[in-house]
């Protein structure tokens, strides 16, 4: 079974338990803390994934990360994952959990990459338009990439809307290369 399928199965169990307990937000926050700690601390990652480090020590580390007030669902989940020697799924758990929790809440996340920092009014107008088009609440995450030259790219789930100048230039270049190839083959 692939890592993604394994992660989805585990996350589905955590989602169901968190819903039953009414602690979806608290579980998301605790899993976010684990995700942030793993991203920010290479030594922690190495320790957690190292096969000779005891399971008890790994469990203790994760309990310290989530804190004493973490929902039992989280500590039970992390303990179970460690017992099953599936620590390698931790880096993808939070993303999968957030995606599933957002779906339950009727939320979609849009990643907007723009050539320049958009104004709050522009972001709000884009959010309103996306919410109308998708009939869901939209959360926009903005990233600036000057390489786009102008315009923006919007990624929602697996869909990408590319309205950037760099994207248009790339499509134009591809079209011109195809046309040159057609002319050469006709000659």
Q: What is the pTM of this model?
A: 0.75
Largest CA distance in the chain: 75
Q: If the chain, 187 residues long, is cut into consecutive pieces of 10 residues, what is the mean pLDDT of each piece? A: 85 93 93 94 92 93 89 93 93 93 92 93 94 92 91 89 86 86 78
| Gyration radius from the chain CA atoms | 22
User: The tokens of 136 are what?
Assistant: 């869901």
What's the pLDDT at 171?
87
Domain boundary among 76, 103, 130: 103
CATH number at 137 reads 3.40.30
Q: 180 and 148 in one domain?
A: yes
Range of the domain at 76: 3-103
Do 126 and 53 share a structural domain? no
Cα separation, 180 vs 108, in Å, equals 41
- Number of domain units in the chain: 2
Paired residues of 110 in beta bridges = 140, 156
Q: What's the DSSP call for residue 59?
A: H
Give the per-residue pLDDT at 149: 87
* Listed residues 68, 85, 103: the one ending a domain: 103
Domain final residue pick, 54, 74, 103: 103
CB atoms within 10 A of CB 85: 9
In this structure, the answer to whether residues 84 and 114 fall within a common structural domain is no
């Amino acid at each position: 079974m692939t890592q993604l399928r394994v992660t989805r199965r585990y996350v589905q169990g955590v989602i169901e338990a968190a819903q039953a307990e009414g602690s979806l937000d608290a579980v998301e926050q605790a899993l976010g803390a684990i995700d942030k700690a793993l991203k920010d601390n290479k030594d922690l990652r190495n320790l957690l994934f190292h096969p000779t480090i005891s399971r008890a020590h790994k469990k203790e580390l994760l309990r310290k990360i989530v804190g004493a007030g973490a929902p039992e669902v989280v500590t039970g989940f992390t303990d179970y994952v460690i017992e099953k020697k599936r620590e390698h799924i931790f880096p993808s758990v939070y993303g999968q959990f957030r995606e599933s929790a957002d779906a339950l809440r009727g939320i979609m996340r849009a990643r907007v990459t723009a050539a320049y920092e958009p104004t709050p009014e522009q972001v709000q107008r884009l959010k309103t338009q996306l919410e109308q088009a998708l009939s869901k609440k939209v959360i926009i995450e903005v990233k600036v990439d000057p390489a786009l030259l102008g315009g923006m790219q919007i990624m929602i789930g697996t869909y990408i809307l590319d309205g950037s100048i760099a994207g248009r230039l790339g499509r134009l270049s591809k079209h011109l290369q195809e046309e040159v190839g057609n002319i050469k083959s006709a000659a």
